[in-house]
Structure 1
Amino acid sequence: MTERDIAAAPDTSRLTPVELRTYRAALRGEVLPDDEPGLASLLARDILFPNTHEPGTYVPAPSRYLETQLTDAVLKALTGVTAALAAVPAHVRELEAEQQRYHYSPSPVGTLLLRTVPEVNAETIRTIQSAESEILTAQPGHRKPQVLKGALPRDLQAAQRGVTVRTIYRTNGRSNPTQRDWVATMTRAGAQVRTLGEDFLRLIIVDRKHAFFEVYGDDGTVQPAAAWYTQDRGVCAVLAAHFWQQWERADPWLPGETDSGAAKDDGDTKTTKIQRTIVRGIVAGKSHRQIGENLGLSERTVTAQVSKLREALGLETVPQLTFWWATSPERLLP
């Protein structure tokens, strides 16, 4: 019995208007032709019986018998519906097998705005707990100790069940004791962590099927309590590509490593903060003009800063400068 059959099945617990009209005619003793509308069903259900003394007329079943007949009819219908319901799971499995046979993979499309911190937390926890292969996380902001401690069991469980976990933090997070503890525990479980000394997009990507990312207001400011959640495979792919760009530029935070290897801005450094920002832009492939636009400086000022830094380091070319930067602890400064 299909869903359409169930919907179209007559209500056998009561007479139809046609049957009721014929039933009343029989009660009045009228002679009814064999093809009288509704007569055949009334006879089949033993609601009317032929009057053997007066051919063409019919007598009704006793009222106590009517209740039994109508109840039995309903029970038969319910039996059919119950059997149909019981068959649904097996039929669904058959359809799933057909999908697998033809390598069909649904791609849910849609983006949901999570407006509050509880909404964001509930959805991210649910998604991370169901992760099957990969969790990519970029956290540019300061994470409160209670947040890190609360997330550790969930993140650790994911890593221990074989999920690849990669996380990017800001460089200044290396001086956060709670963050160092999180990194030490997670890296021992196989997770990989890197740090980046510049702003980047906050996001979480799970299995390339789910993504959470920042919400920006009309004025361009980040809405800290909210997040976009999407299952659009195209959006997830773009965000994953963005993550990998940041990952390649970030510095590994090795197991057991603290902030002891980071340079201290104690007045003895060779670079200024603006020069470090400029060099990071160069390493990212940006032109002097683009770097200047981001910093609110002229292209000439950016070029002058690069020349000044090369002179201070005794370097002749920009490639030499980028090589020095790749090995210098000053890249870990903000």
Structure 2
Amino acid sequence: MTGLPDLPLSPDDRETYRAVANGGDVVPGHDVGRLVSLGLIAPNPDRDGQYIAHDPRGAVQRALSQVQETITRAAQCMAELPAVEGLTAAYDAHRWYSGLSELLETRDEMNARIAQALRTASSEMWTAQPGAPVDRDPEVQRAGMERVLDLRARSISVRSLYNVAVRDHAATAGHLAAAVEAGAEVSTLEEAFPRLVIIDGTHLFIDNCVRTNGEDKDAGWHVTDRATVAWAHTVYQHMWARATRWQDGDVSSEMLTERQKAILRALEEGEPQHGVGPRLGLSDRTVTKEIATARSAVGAQTVYQLMAWWGRQQAQA
């Protein structure tokens, strides 16, 4: 492609041209390369070291021709770019490209986007709720049950994974039992696990783990990246395989809560007391309090006596 003229002129170029045009010598120390390349001056064949000035209008015409040719070539190249881009179909034929991740800055935005994805859902809604149970507005629970009924009526798989502590929370337990009766699958897990929602294996909703100061604690991400959603789907299946179905909940030692049983199972498996909290998503203070409550419930004076009692209960189960 023809290059563009070497412009603009510098103040030194202008001063040099005026000196040459007035019959004077080149200004000492000034470079004449740009003036020569533009055809504004040329070496004097009769006198070494001196230059002859040419009409600037001729230089302008030559520069315009260069610019026009460059524009023409550039336009031709631009017109060919769609044809070049059209070759991507051959390149992409054996490749997958992912989607994107979008930060939803409030709980309302998260709920609205989940509802939008559910309206077009065709195969599954899998959720994982690791938080401790709370007393919810009956209207919220009613809306949740209506959603379960709607999804099941559309033959959509509904799976819900909860913290084992929900078994001790009467309101939540009643709601989940009704969901199971409606055809949903519900399981509980004793260990810590991430909060997430997967819809149709193409939408993933997760907590905001890149939170900065000032952001809403309920902010989250809507992920449609195929690789990430597939990975989360696999993680969910692993968690589900380790969980206990709602119908198969441990009915032994009714003197203890499900959270207390989870703590004792962790200790039984060799977990040190300081390691139980991170495993179950509990604080050390909560673990200590629950162990003390369990000891009181079964009449044990020490943790060793509590574990001995627990062992006997498991042997009789």
TM-score by length of 1: 0.48
- 2:112 maps to which residue? 122
Which of 229, 234, 237 is 1:236 aligned to? 229
Letter in 2 for 1:276: R
- 2:159 maps to which residue? 166
Equivalences for residues 84-233 of structure 1 within 5 A:
109-141=99-131, 142=133, 144-145=136-137, 146-217=139-210, 224-233=217-226
Q: Give the C-alpha shift of residue 173 in structure 1.
A: 0.9
Query: Deviations along 1:141-194, whole A, 9 cap, x unmatched?
Result: 235244322222122200121001111111111233332333233222321100
Q: Give the C-alpha shift of residue 260 in structure 1.
A: 9.2
Contact 1:212/1:229, CA 8 A, preserved across alignment: yes
Q: How far apart, CA to CA, are the structure 1 residues paired with 2:94 and 2:122?
A: 19
Equivalences for residues 319-334 of structure 1 within 5 A:
none
Q: 1:293 to 1:179 in 2, by over 3 A?
A: closer
- 2:251 maps to which residue? 261
Q: How far apart, CA to CA, are the structure 2 residues paired with 1:205 and 1:125?
A: 12
Q: Give the C-alpha shift of residue 246 in structure 1.
A: 1.2
Q: How far apart, CA to CA, are the structure 2 residues paired with 1:249 and 1:223?
A: 32
Which ranges in structure 2 are unaligned for 5 or more consecutive residues? Answer: 1-88, 285-302
Letter in 1 for 2:207: E
Q: How far apart, CA to CA, are the structure 2 residues paired with 1:115 and 1:229?
A: 11
Partner SS, residue 193 of structure 2: coil
Q: How far apart, CA to CA, are the structure 2 residues paired with 1:279 and 1:224?
A: 35
Which ranges in structure 1 are unaligned for 5 or more consecutive residues? Answer: 1-98, 298-304, 315-323, 329-334
Q: How far apart, CA to CA, are the structure 2 residues paired with 1:108 and 1:158?
A: 27
Q: How far apart, CA to CA, are the structure 2 residues paired with 1:274 and 1:180?
A: 20
Query: Deviations along 1:102-137, whole A, 9 cap, x unmatched?
Result: x99986510011110110110011112221011111
Instruction: Give the RMSD, CA atoms, in angstroms.
Output: 4.4
Letter in 2 for 1:313: G
Q: 1:213 to 1:192 in 2, by over 3 A?
A: same
- 2:311 maps to which residue? 313
Query: Deviations along 1:209-262, whole A, 9 cap, x unmatched?
Result: 001011125689x964111111111111111111111111111102xx8x8936
**2:276 matched to 1:276?**
no
Q: How far apart, CA to CA, are the structure 1 residues paired with 2:116 and 2:266?
A: 37
Contact 2:207/2:218, CA 8 A, preserved across alignment: no
Q: 1:108 to 1:189 in 2, by over 3 A?
A: farther
Q: 1:279 to 1:129 in 2, by over 3 A?
A: farther
> Identity over aligned residues, as a percent?
24
Letter in 2 for 1:242: V
Contact 2:128/2:162, CA 8 A, preserved across alignment: yes
Letter in 1 for 2:265: R
TM-score by length of 2: 0.50
